[in-house]
Amino acid sequence: FCSSTWLKNAIQTVTLIPGDGIGPEISSAVMKIFEAAQAPIKWEKRNVTAIQGPGGKWMIPPDAKESMDRNKIGLKGPLNTPIAAGHPSMNLLLRKTFDLYANVRPCVSIEGYKTPYTDVNLVTIRENTEGEYSGIEHVIVDGVVQSIKLITEQASQRIAEYAFEYARNNQRASVTAVHKANIMRMSDGLFLRKCREAAEKHKDVKFTEMYLDTVCLNMVQDPTQFDVLVMPNLYGDILSDLCAGLIGGLGVTPSGNIGTNGVAIFESVHGTAPDIAGKDMANPTALLLSAVMMLRHMGLHGHAKKIEAACFDTIREKKVVTKDLGGNSKCSEFTDAICQRVKDMD
């Protein structure tokens, strides 16, 4: 996954999906910073607004799909889901198109952006295709609704193995499976079994299991006890947002989605912020940190470290930061400050 088969000087093409709202401006910020850092990345911009194919099925435009299939790596800004009837969620569409089965969110406390929690350094790995988000619901009789949570051996095995591989490749000491197998004996029981099996194959990584409620209870008291967490879809959704809250919110949290066939799409998980779009007020940190995650995934650790350090230093110094980070600088000013730092590092 962290393949170092890429030659350090070879230019890699990455599909860039700027997105909507503040998407284009934060994407420009990232491109500018990457240029200043002389990262060997060439951007191929694509639009993923869904179109209806023959037969009326919603799909992402063929040129976007072709680009991603070719480049394998993508960076994406926030997307709007149009309210049009029958239009699927854009994120869901991307997920299904590329079988993005793992959502990975590293949550690290940002020095200089104070929250009640310090020293947070954990990673949530969420199964992203099934579980409670199967979308299978029925009205049984009037007033009784059934929603089906689907857990399969295949998907559980896949995410469990990914979690351990990730831990190994990123020098993480332990993996904790989060579950509610006391209540959902069969479904979470199956998930847990697959995690245990993957643990057997990766004895160099410590494995623990913890109930979802215990994780929540302990997370808000002492998040430093957690390292890598792996879990089914819903718990992952809740926990990854909870952890984002610990370090300062979605505006500073990176995220990556891993798919089959080597596809990986890194994204900012905040919204499109239409109220500040086009006003040079947006904070590009989340997208930038996701891009840094992308560099690491591609094996470009040197550039990743440089850009990340420049970003954190700028935030820590607090002189030129955007409004949400406690300052009153413009997005372009914040971006320029980071660019300058990156250049000074050389």
Partner 1 sequence: ILMRSTPPPAKYGGRHTVTLIPGDGIGPELLNHVREVFRFSCVPVDFEVVHVNSAVETEDDISNAITAIRRNGVALKGNIETKHTMPPSVKSRNSVLRTSLDLYANVMHCQSLPGVQTRHKNIDIMIIRENTEGEYSSLEHESVSGVVESLKIITRNNSLRIADYAFRLAREKGRRRVTAVHKANIMKLADGLFLQCCREVASGYPDITFDSMIVDNTTMQLVSKPQQFDVMVMPNLYGNVVSNVCAGLVGGPGLVPGANYGRDYAVFETATRNTGKSIANKNIANPTAVLLASCMMLDHLKLYDYASLIRNAVLTTMNETRLHTADIGGQGTTSEVVQSVMRIIQSKGQLTSEL
Stretch that binds partner 1, among 45-53, 95-103, 166-174, 209-217 (CB under 8 A): 209-217
Q: Is 132 in the site for partner 1 (CB under 8 A)?
A: yes
Nearest residue (CB) to partner 1, 10 versus 141: 141
Residue 189 interacts with partner 1 (CB under 8 A): yes or no: yes
From the list 28-36, 47-55, 98-106, 179-187, the region that binds partner 1 by CB under 8 A is 179-187
Q: How far is the CB of 262 from partner 1 (least distance, A)?
A: 25
Q: How many CA atoms lie within 13 A of 226 on its CB side?
A: 32
Q: From residue 220, how far is each of 28, 74, 116, 120 by CA, in Å?
A: 36, 33, 10, 11
Least distance CB 113 / partner 1 (angstroms): 12
To the nearest whole angstrom, how small is the minimum distance from the Cβ of residue 178 to partner 1?
A: 11
Dihedral of CA atoms 30, 33, 38, 39 in degrees, nearest 10, equals: -30
Number of other residues whose CB lies within 10 A of the CB of residue 156: 26
Map residues 135-164 to x or -, x wherever contact with partner 1 holds by CB under 8 A. Answer: x-xxx--xxxxxxxxxxxxx----------
Least Å distance, CB 240 to partner 1, is 8
Please report whether residue 187 would count as binding partner 1 according to CB under 8 A. yes
Closest CA to 153 of 172, 134, 130, 135: 130
CB atoms within 10 A of CB 67: 20
Q: Which 8-state DSSP code applies to residue 185?
A: T
Shortest reach from residue 148's CB to partner 1, in Å: 5
Q: How far is the CB of 69 from partner 1 (least distance, A)?
A: 28
> Which residue's entry shows tokens 């406690």?
326
Vertex 8: Cα angle to 5 and 9 (nearest 5): 130
In this chain, which stretch among 62-70, 98-106, 241-249, 309-317 interacts with partner 1, using CB under 8 A? 241-249
By CB under 8 A, tell whether 170 contacts partner 1.
no
Of 214-222, 278-286, 317-325, 327-335, the segment contacting partner 1 by CB under 8 A is 214-222
Q: With contact defined as beta carbons under 8 Å apart, do 143 and 275 qualify?
A: no
Q: Taking CB under 8 A as the rule, does residue 217 contact partner 1?
A: yes
Closest CA to 48 of 82, 22, 25: 82
121-124 LR contacts (CB < 8 Å, sep 24+): 121/224, 121/227, 122/223, 122/226, 122/227, 122/228, 122/229, 122/243, 123/166, 123/170, 123/172, 123/227, 123/228, 123/229, 124/229, 124/231, 124/236, 124/239, 124/240, 124/243
Does residue 309 belong to the site contacting partner 1 (CB under 8 A)? no
Exactly one of 32, 58, 206, 238 binds partner 1 (CB under 8 A); that residue is: 238
180 binds partner 1 (CB under 8 A): yes
Residue 318 CB, nearest approach to partner 1 (Å): 19
d(CA 219, CA 126): 17
Rounded to the nearest whole angstrom, what is the least distance from the CB of residue 145 to partner 1 in the complex?
5
Q: Is 83 a residue that touches partner 1 (CB under 8 A)?
A: no
- Per the DSSP assignment, residues forming a β-bridge with 268 are 254
Count of residues near partner 1 by CB under 8 A: 55
Give the interface with partner 1 as residue ranges (CB under 8 A): 115-117, 132-133, 135, 137-139, 142-154, 180-190, 192, 212-214, 216-221, 234, 237-242, 244-246, 249-250
